[in-house]
Amino acid sequence: MDLRSFPSADGDLAYRDTGSGDLVVLLHSGFVDHRIWDDHVPVLAGRYRVIAPDTRGHGFSANATAPFRWADDLAALLRHLDAGPAVLVGLSMGGVIATDTALEHPGLVRAVVTAGAATGDHRYTDPWHRELEETMARALAAGDVTAWLDAFLRLVPGPARTADAVDPDVLRRVREMALHTLSKHGPGEKDWLVRVTGSFDRTGEIRVPLLAVNGSLEPADLHAAAERLAGAVPDGRTATIDGTGHYSALERPDAFNRVLLDFLEAL
């Protein structure tokens, strides 16, 4: 694993950088790290330069000790590398980072792909997600890693399936990454993240092509959010990965790569 580090103003941020050509940045979901893209990097790096960072507080990157914004960290990395504009591809939290960066640092963004995400001001409204978020919050506050992990892993199959329906290797990989990230933090730790607010009201400012991807088994709420996002962007569209939930890129990497490559080749 060729992992490098960027000395940011608040600790070192880890990233993978491989391949050559037009730049594609792969942004992972919450509590995991760049390894969620291990099935995609080799395919993409044959045609593109691929950067896969670990978001601050995740994976092998430093924790925050002062206020920060995801988009600013990504922009600082790209400027440090004198790289961009980039196609930003983000899964879940990574999708929010992609749209935030397109709004806050538009000169660094060539196109956006979100997967299981919309903008940072989207909040789950369905009872299943709300109950899961509350369970995870209580477990984190109590320092109960087992209860938190049990709840977190329910995101992989989603509300329509049980864990038995998911490839055990997918669950193993998510569990391993989540435990690694969680081990970096303690109960009651201050959250220094400053969120970009009012982001959906500004989506018309995104003037680059945008693709919003969902797994077919994700809740209707997320499909509606993707349609809403794509419809608000002048050059927006949607796609669906059949037979997958929130982690469509992990469950069916070949199908996800086909959708992504078709989008990239049309730019």
Is the predicted pLDDT of residue 10 greater than 70, yes or no?
A: yes
**Domain identity same for 107 and 165:** no
Average pLDDT for 160-181: 96
Within 10 angstroms of residue 200's Cβ, the number of other Cβ atoms is: 17
Q: Are residues 116 and 135 in the same domain?
A: no
CA distances from 233 to 189, 216, 226 (A): 37, 22, 11
Last-in-domain residue among 139, 154, 182: 182
User: 167 lies in which domain range?
Assistant: 127-182
Report the pLDDT averaged over residues 71-89: 97
Regarding whether 139 and 114 lie in a shared domain, the answer is no
Shortest CA distance to 26 belongs to which of 54, 1, 2, 4? 54
What does the pLDDT read at residue 123?
75
Instruction: Judge if 120 and 134 occupy the same domain.
Output: no
Q: What is the DSSP letter of 137?
A: H
Q: What pLDDT shows up at residue 68?
A: 98
Q: What is the CATH number of the domain that holds 229?
A: 3.40.50.1820
DSSP code per residue over 153-170: HTTTT-TTS-GGGS-HHH
How many Å separate Cα 104 from the centre of its chain? 17
Is residue 202 scored above 90 in pLDDT?
A: yes
Give yes or no for residue 153 having a pLDDT over 60.
yes
Confidence grade of residue 186 (pLDDT, cut at 50, 70, 90): confident
| Confidence at 93, pLDDT banded by 50, 70, 90 | very high
136 and 14, same structural domain? no
* pLDDT tier at 142, thresholds 50, 70, 90: confident
What pLDDT sits at residue 84?
87
- Tell whether the model's pLDDT for residue 1 goes beyond 70: no
Which segment of 23-37, 128-142, 151-165 scores lowest on mean pLDDT? 128-142
Residue 118 and residue 149 in one domain: no
177 and 165 belong to one structural domain: yes
Can you give the pLDDT at residue 174? 97
pLDDT of 124 strictly over 80: no
Question: 178 and 150, same structural domain?
Answer: yes
The rounded distance, in Å, linking the Cα atoms of 179 and 217 is 25
First and final CA of the chain: distance in angstroms? Answer: 29
Same domain, 93 and 203: yes
Nearest to 115 by CA among 265, 17, 250, 267: 250
- How many independent structural domains does the chain possess? 2
Do residues 69 and 195 share a domain? yes
Neighbours of 208 (CB within 10 A): 18
Domain boundary among 165, 182, 199: 182
Identify the three-state secondary structure at position 50.
strand
| Claim to verify: residue 120 and residue 142 sit in the same structural domain | no
Q: Are 249 and 91 in contact (CB under 8 A)?
A: yes
- Per-residue pLDDT reduced to its tens digit, 203-261: 999 999 999 999 999 988 889 999 999 999 999 999 999 999 999 999 999 999 999 99
In the predicted structure, residue 39 carries a pLDDT above the cut 90: yes
Query: Are residues 203 and 141 part of one domain?
Result: no
- The answer to whether residues 119 and 199 touch, using CB atoms and an 8 Å cutoff, is yes
Instruction: Please state, rounded to an integer, the average pLDDT across all residues of the chain.
Output: 94
Of the three residues 164, 182, 200, the one that is the final residue of a domain is 182
Over residues 175-182, the mean pLDDT reads: 96
CA distance 217 to 115: 13
* Stronger pLDDT, 127 or 168, i.e. the higher one: 168
Q: Is 241 helix (H, G, I), strand (E, B) or coil?
A: strand
